[in-house]
Chain A
Amino acid sequence: MRKFLTALMLVLMLCTVASADEDVIKVGIFNCLTGQNAFGGQLELEGTMLAHTLNPTILGKKVELVIVDNKSDKVEAANAVTRLIENDKVNAIIGTYGSSLAMAGGEVAEKAGVPVIGTSCTNPLVTQDKKYYFRVCFIDPFQGAGAATYAFRNLGFKKAATLVDMANDYSVGLGKFFRDSFKKMGGEIVASLFYQSGDTDFTAQLTALIDAKPDIVFLPAYFAEGAIVLKQAKELGATFRFIGADAMDNPEIVTLGGDAVEGFMHTTFAYDPSMPEMNETAKAFTAEWNKIHPDKAPNVNCALGYDAYILLKDAIERAGSAEPQKIRDALETTKDLPTVTGMTTINATHDAEKDMGIVEIRGGKKTFVGIVVPEI
């Protein structure tokens, strides 16, 4: 009896879904709204919702957002995507913060053939060998090239070195791309040194760096280690500069490193509410955001959540249809789309190629100092 009832309910549910309004485009959102990554996921969701409020219709059809929480958990992420595809029959999906969550969800979407646009999942593996996963952010190694370009072209440094955490894929990948890019532009890599996550004494590596006399050292470290490296470099009287990547982007770096972090630079997405020359999309985004959230400033995650929706809207409009397969094909050909975080082009590996921002710590505060086009 119970089985029969369950079956009946299932049939009923399927009927309701099948008879859903054809004039609605359903966009699923899976992001981490609770759990350890909730901080980032919430901001991205708010960004996407703002984009939806400003663009409620695409191709004259109403867009409906279906929001599912992946609870910062890999299993939940796969379940969330399954639910969006099987229950809600969404046309496309946006999400998520956290590369491991994106990978778990990506497997499901790939089998079902529904396109997904990642917001801030920057690990190269997320889109590797995937036909349906795209992302609006650049990938980790791209930042290595960005830092090299800024050091060589903008700062005019000819001799560089790297100090890489060899137990961390992120750090190793960035270091390699930095060296490749810097050499390709005609610069010289004078030293390439390593440490391991958990180390606290960097005096040996720093002394070896001082001996090698680089102009700049690329340090793709996490902020807790990075701050200690900068501190010891100052104690040893190092005169070269340091540049890092987005893992150094944490206000705590100033608390930990004190005046030793002064002048430290790192790459980031090309958006910050304090940046001097914003593009039109970014200006509009900032103004609208401030209207809705007068109490808090937008950050990069908000911008990426917003951009994911803009990317999807553009693809649906160019495809002239909201069929998942057609959206996928259109996403693949995205070129020079104006978004908040700069001009976005989707490359062969489905990653966004876009300008990169450079931030410098001046007077204990993050200051946006410029935009760079990475040369890979």
Chain B
Amino acid sequence: MNLNIFVQHFINALSLGSLYGLVAVGYTMVYGILRLINFAHGDIFMLGAYFVYFATIVYKLPWAVGVVIAIIGTTICGLLVDRIAYKPLREAPRISALISAIGVSFFIENFAVVVFTGMPRPVVQPPILMQPIVLPGDVRLIPLGILVPIVAFVLVGCLLWLLYRTKPGLAMRAISFDIETTRMMGVSVNRIIALAFGLGSALAAVAGILWALRYPRVEPFMGMTPGIKAFIAAVFGGIGSVPGAMIGGLILGFVEIMSVAFFPTLSGYKDAFAFCLLILILLFRPTGLLGERLEDKI
């Protein structure tokens, strides 16, 4: 492998890793606040991609309009999921909410199969984002590959600002410690949780849109693999930690791409490489890279 090829691999890894990171951020945020692993996150992500497909291909709306519609539509779907499937279980044991999340995931996937059929659909790729820029040494970079990390880092920045510099953010962090006490302090807990879900869904929508642009194929089960990968990335980085999820996503992307780059004959086992690394990290740091050590209250 010469330097040019290595640089190409590096660029590919950055693009893939920041996509994983973006999905993982939504996962980790909901977990951080509610201690709920929202397994439906990958399916909300899929809905975001379908909104773009319908807006741009079926109704032929301009691209920017499609993106706005997709983010709003997906956020509404996320809020509905919270209202229908999670809110009634707020007082129930955590495991019930987890099972409910798995149920929601199956429901959305199969609902999508019935409504949209299983046939994969194409996505409009704005040419300005796709025209490769040829760098010296025939390394190719598509503008989308730069856009994805930029969007990811900007969104993570905004999220951190919201969590640590605003009142609703303060309320969210308070809820993550103790829901009851927060309620006694006069915070409208359900509204704040809904806000967290709305934000998580909007993040899923952005990730879904960028994913569909990068891999232009929309289908009902497209959220499954990214969902699992993002969950791993979130655990990698320390679930509950927003910067951790981004770092976890990047590491996962780099491990996957570089394992193929250095061991092409083992390319079918790239997921195995990623999982081995996950096990190693968890053995030595059970709460992930940036996870805080949580003591169980007795």
User: A residues within 8 Å of B by Cβ?
Assistant: 164, 166-167, 191-196, 198-201, 203-205, 207-208, 210-212, 224, 227-228, 231, 235-237, 252, 255-256, 258
Tell me the nearest residue of chain B to A211, going by C-beta: B5
Q: Which B residues are in CB contact (< 8 Å) with A196?
A: 268, 271
A330 to B27, CA, bound (A): 64
* B134: interface (CB < 8 Å): yes
Within 8 A of A (CB), among B244-267: 256-258, 260-261, 264-265, 267
CB of B120 within 8 A of CB of A252, answer yes
A236 to B142, CA, bound (A): 9
Tell me the nearest residue of chain A to B20, going by C-beta: A201
* B111: interface (CB < 8 Å): no
Q: What are 25 A-B contacts with C-beta separation under 8 Å?
A: A194-B267, A194-B269, A196-B268, A200-B217, A200-B225, A200-B226, A201-B16, A203-B12, A204-B9, A204-B12, A204-B13, A204-B260, A204-B270, A207-B8, A207-B9, A207-B12, A208-B5, A208-B261, A208-B267, A210-B8, A228-B216, A228-B217, A236-B132, A237-B138, A255-B122
Q: Which B residues are in CB contact (< 8 Å) with A205?
A: 260, 264, 267
In which size bucket is the chain B interface? 35 or more
Known A-B contacts A208-B260, A224-B217, A256-B216; the reply to A193 vs B267 at CB < 8 A is yes
* B109: interface (CB < 8 Å): no
A14 to B101, CA, bound (A): 58
Q: Which B residues are in CB contact (< 8 Å) with A211?
A: 1-2, 5
A271 to B46, CA, bound (A): 39
> What's the A-B contact tally at a CB cutoff of 8 Å?
91
CB of B216 within 8 A of CB of A235, answer no
* Min CB gap A229→B, angstroms: 10
Known A-B contacts A196-B268, A198-B225, A235-B140; the reply to A203 vs B257 at CB < 8 A is yes
- Name the residue among A166, A191, A210, A236 with the largest chain B CB count within 10 angstroms: A236
Q: Which B residues are in CB contact (< 8 Å) with A198?
A: 221, 224-225
CB of A235 within 8 A of CB of B142, answer yes
CB of A256 within 8 A of CB of B122, answer yes
1/0 per residue, CB under 8 A from A, across B155-186: the answer is: 00000000000000000000000000000000
Residue from A191, A208, A231 within 8 A of B216 (CB atoms): A231
Q: Which A residues are in CB contact (< 8 Å) with B15?
A: 203
* Min CB gap A142→B, angstroms: 24
Residue from B119, B221, B260 within 8 A of A252 (CB atoms): B119
* B215: interface (CB < 8 Å): yes
Q: Which B residues are in CB contact (< 8 Å) with A231?
A: 216
Tell me the nearest residue of chain B to A193, going by C-beta: B267
CB of B138 within 8 A of CB of A204, answer no
Report, nearest first, the 8 A-B pairs whose CB atoms are least far apart: A194-B268, A204-B260, A166-B268, A203-B12, A200-B215, A204-B257, A224-B120, A208-B264
CB of B1 within 8 A of CB of A256, answer no
CB of B140 within 8 A of CB of A199, answer no
* Min CB gap B125→A, angstroms: 8
Q: Which B residues are in CB contact (< 8 Å) with A195?
A: 267-268
A200-B217, A208-B267, A231-B216 known, 12 other contacts, Cβ within 8 Å = A164-B268, A167-B268, A191-B264, A195-B268, A196-B271, A200-B222, A203-B16, A203-B257, A204-B256, A204-B257, A204-B261, A207-B8
Within 8 A of A (CB), among B202-230: 211, 214-217, 219, 221-222, 224-226
1/0 per residue, CB under 8 A from A, across B121-146: the answer is: 01000000010101000101010000
Residue from A166, A210, A237, A258 within 8 A of B122 (CB atoms): A258
* Min CB gap B60→A, angstroms: 15
A194 to B256, CA, bound (A): 13
A146 to B211, CA, bound (A): 36
Tell me the nearest residue of chain B to A208, going by C-beta: B264
CB of A236 within 8 A of CB of B8, answer yes
A255 to B265, CA, bound (A): 32
Q: Which A residues are in CB contact (< 8 Å) with B132?
A: 235-237
Q: Which A residues are in CB contact (< 8 Å) with B217?
A: 200, 224, 227-228, 256
Tell me the nearest residue of chain A to B270, going by C-beta: A204
Tell me the nearest residue of chain B to A234, going by C-beta: B132
Q: Which A residues are in CB contact (< 8 Å) with B216?
A: 228, 231, 256
- Name the residue among B2, B8, B221, B261 with the largest chain A CB count within 10 angstroms: B8
Q: Which A residues are in CB contact (< 8 Å) with B219?
A: 224
Tell me the nearest residue of chain B to A254, going by C-beta: B122
Tell me the nearest residue of chain A to B257, going by C-beta: A204
A231 to B216, CA, bound (A): 9
Within 8 A of A (CB), among B1-48: 1-2, 5, 8-9, 12-13, 15-16
CB of B120 within 8 A of CB of A237, answer no
- Name the residue among A196, A224, A235 with the largest chain B CB count within 10 angstroms: A235
A227 to B119, CA, bound (A): 13
- Name the residue among B119, B211, B219, B268 with the largest chain A CB count within 10 angstroms: B268
Q: Which B residues are in CB contact (< 8 Å) with A224?
A: 120, 217, 219
A166 to B265, CA, bound (A): 12
* Min CB gap B161→A, angstroms: 30
CB of A235 within 8 A of CB of B120, answer no
* Min CB gap B48→A, angstroms: 15
A166 to B269, CA, bound (A): 9
